[in-house]
Amino acid sequence: MSRRLLLVGLAAVLASCGPAANAPRERFVLPKRATLRAAAESLAAHHIITSPRHFLLMAHLYGLFLPHYRGLDRHLIPGRYEFAHGEDTRTILDAMLKGKTKDDFFTVPEGSTIWEIAHAAHVELGMDSAAFVRATRDTVLRDELGLPRRDRDVEGYLFPDTYRVSFGASAAQLVAQMVERFRAVWDTAWDARARALGLSRNQLMTLASIVEAEAQVDSERRIIASVYLNRLRRRPPMKLQADPTVIYALGRHVDRVLLRDLKVRSPYNTYLHYGLPPGPIDSPGRASILAALWPARTPYYYFVARPDGSHMFSRTGAEQLDSVRVARQLWAAAAAARRDSIREAQGESTAVRLARRDSLGTAAGSEQQP
């Protein structure tokens, strides 16, 4: 047998000892311009391999007879990789030569704002949140993505979904990825439908974003959309008076909108200004977009929330006052029930502690008996 075949056979035998079926998996990052020796040391530090020396020897053996394993230091692709403890050398080398990186999955819930997405990207992806916000305000990027130039950013066009984010992706790339997802979801026929409602695409998305913020029950989305459209179309006109737009204008989350909050000076405050705000206030999902495109036909101009997230809808101001009284009673009853539940839980906790103390005292007394 030739020396070449012998060495290749030896390498194959040594490499065949792969990880155990239930071996834990570990991620490690291969930096740019990292050498194979540095990679081996990092792999060992993450317990993926046991010996950097053995790993380098195996890589050398492969490089002697297989051309694509030569000059590894020049061909390793940086990225985030994931391997099992005890992974064989050839699998690791192939992954780093072909760039089989372990991408992250990043989920954006419906109703998220740019600031919330930026914070999540920082926490989950290690991305600079300020850079993400700057990317949403980049007019050049906005033009490249075919979005209308609005007064500030691309709020509303970062489609809520789960994204596969490659290692090293920039904030601009993530923003572009999310906008492209919006463009893929948007049906061009919807533009004609929006025009039939008397709305531009941006106005339609603004309405959808308000519906997203208000609706907690799916079956109510089209009804809520109808309420706001009825207000927009009424003569004389009515202000939308949508609490979520006030919260957006405040620039911070509040559980309850107070009377002083209604005075915040902002074009997004629909208690001060007629019509829709200048743009969306969050990232609406497909269900809210469809609700805005095909709202229900209703006579309603008002609604108020119940504690369970559903709403009571009214046609007149007098009906709304009745609904508000009922809603206040429901909220008060819900608050009282929560207080009773907390007191009951605290009482149970105290009883458990006393029982444990008594049992320990009894046990201690028993040990002192002759």
Is 155 domain-assigned? yes
* Mean pLDDT in residue range 212-235: 96
Does residue 236 have a cis peptide bond before it, meaning omega lies within 30 degrees of 0? yes
**Do 285 and 206 lie in a common domain?**
yes
Is 355 domain-assigned? no
Per residue in 296-333, pLDDT tens?
999 999 999 999 999 999 999 999 999 999 999 999 99
**Do 121 and 56 lie in a common domain?**
no
The boundaries of the domain holding residue 85 are 3-98
* Mean pLDDT in residue range 100-116: 93
Contact 40, 60 (CB under 8 A): no
CATH classification at residue 43:
3.30.1490.480
**Do 52 and 153 lie in a common domain?**
no
- If one counts every other C-beta atom within 10 angstroms of the C-beta of residue 195, the result is 12
Query: Which of the listed residues 185, 205, 223 is the one where a domain comes to its end?
Result: 185
* pTM of this structure: 0.78
Is 363 domain-assigned? no
Q: What is the 3-state secondary structure (H, E, C) of 122-134?
A: HHHHCCCHHHHHH
pLDDT band at residue 174, thresholds of 50, 70 and 90?
very high
**What's 314's DSSP letter?**
E
Per residue in 239-296, pLDDT tens?
999 999 999 999 988 888 999 999 999 999 999 999 999 999 999 999 999 999 999 9
Q: What is the 3-state secondary structure (H, E, C) of the chain?
A: CCHHHHHHHHHHHHHCCCCCCCCCEEEEEECCCCCHHHHHHHHHHCCCCCCHHHHHHHHHHHHHHCHHHCCHHHHCCCEEEEEECCCCHHHHHHHHHHCCCCCEEEECCCCCCHHHHHHHHHHHHCCCHHHHHHHHCCHHHHHHCCCCCCCCCCCCCCCCCEEEECCCCCHHHHHHHHHHHHHHHCCCHHHHHHHHCCCCHHHHHHHHHHHHHHCCCHHHHHHHHHHHHHHHHCCCCCCCCCHHHHHHHHCCCCCCCCHHHHHCCCCCCCCCCCCCCCCCCCCCCHHHHHHHHCCCCCCCCEEEECCCCCEEEECCHHHHHHHHHHHHHHHHHHHHHHHHHHHHHHHHHHHHHHHHHHHHHHHHHHHCCC
* Mean pLDDT in residue range 343-347: 77
Q: What is the pLDDT of residue 46?
A: 93
Is 370 domain-assigned? no
**Do 138 and 218 lie in a common domain?**
no
**Do 173 and 80 lie in a common domain?**
no
Mean confidence (pLDDT) of the chain: 88
**Do 67 and 133 lie in a common domain?**
no
**Do 156 and 120 lie in a common domain?**
yes
**Do 123 and 169 lie in a common domain?**
yes
Q: Which residues pair with 97 in a beta bridge?
A: none
Is 318 domain-assigned? no
- For residue 356, pLDDT over 70 is answered with no
Query: Which of the listed residues 71, 98, 125 is the one where a domain comes to its end?
Result: 98
Q: Which two tokens stand for residue 304?
A: 């108020």
Is 64 domain-assigned? yes
Q: What is the pLDDT of residue 328?
A: 93
pLDDT band at residue 368, thresholds of 50, 70 and 90?
very low
**Do 170 and 207 lie in a common domain?**
no
Is 245 domain-assigned? yes
**Do 34 and 109 lie in a common domain?**
no
Query: Which of the listed residues 298, 316, 334 is the one where a domain comes to its end?
Result: 298
Question: What is the number of domains present in the chain?
Answer: 3
**Do 240 and 288 lie in a common domain?**
yes
**Do 118 and 91 lie in a common domain?**
no
Is 12 domain-assigned? yes
